[in-house]
Amino acid sequence: MGFPMRAEEPRLRDFVAFVTAKNAGERISAQLALDWACSSPRGGIWSRAGRLSTVRGLLQYLSAFDSTVEVPQAGLLAGRRRNKPYLFSAAEVERLLDGASRLQSESEFWPQTVATVIGLVASTGIRSREALKLAVADVQLDLDPPRLLIRDTKFYKSRLVPLHATTAAKLREYADQRRRLGYDGRCMAFFISERGKQARYSRLYRCVRDLVRNLGIQPHPVSGRFPGLHSLRHAFAVQRLVTWQEQGLDIRALLPHLSVYLGHRDPVDTYWYLTASPALLTTAAERFEGFVEKGGAR
């Protein structure tokens, strides 16, 4: 399905070597898989859980052809739990944009940079580091539709991200201001720092962190963490799912498209967002209830 197996392939090769060295014969037991998962000296319990999850996928496949293959039970090793994401409301995003445009800075252009990056991440869901890595040539606003070329991202993939007309209009405003200030030809990066160089993630991160706290936006009620740049990406993903749900569309069929758009390595990362919104969980519960009732009628 187009997803790389950079982590899984060496793990599975190592598992095969482990089984061979143990002289397990033709039968692969669940205990053997568990022993292999715990055999690596590197990483903690989360790493071992990931190794076991990888080999479970292979063993589930093999068990369909060979009934002697044992598949370890899920949850034998505790894995990493992702915190519930903070979901910015539309009103909070507007407050962030307004606050960013009024930042005190030695450069008049820096507040515009912060506001434009916030707006871009909120409206496209791209990673903030991906936004800061954009070169001028990657912001293709004259094409139809306008788009971004995201190069060599977190998982070494490149992708095209179509832009809504309103998002493209804001990027054109930024590009025009950038040109008027004479940055074209001086810096290949699209987003400019206070000193006329590529904007740094650490500086942007601190600005957004301070904005959130100065605006009185409260931390997540469960994790206690204040929202940040990445929370804008979470909010985009969940809002897209909610919109599809409100339109009566098949979320399950559309999730792979969202996964590619967001640049996820694995569709599982996109499915995680289904648990992030009460509206989505309510819809899922209603559909399950309808499925059960339909089955009962039969």
- Report the distance separating Cα 132 and Cα 138, nearest Å: 11
The catalytic residue positions are 127, 154, 230, 233, 264, 273
Question: Hey, what domains does the chain have and what are their CATH numbers?
Answer: 1-81 (no CATH), 90-214 (1.10.443.10), 234-297 (no CATH)
Q: Which residues of the chain have pLDDT under 50?
A: 296-298
What does the pLDDT read at residue 199? 92
What does the pLDDT read at residue 298? 38
What does the pLDDT read at residue 196? 84
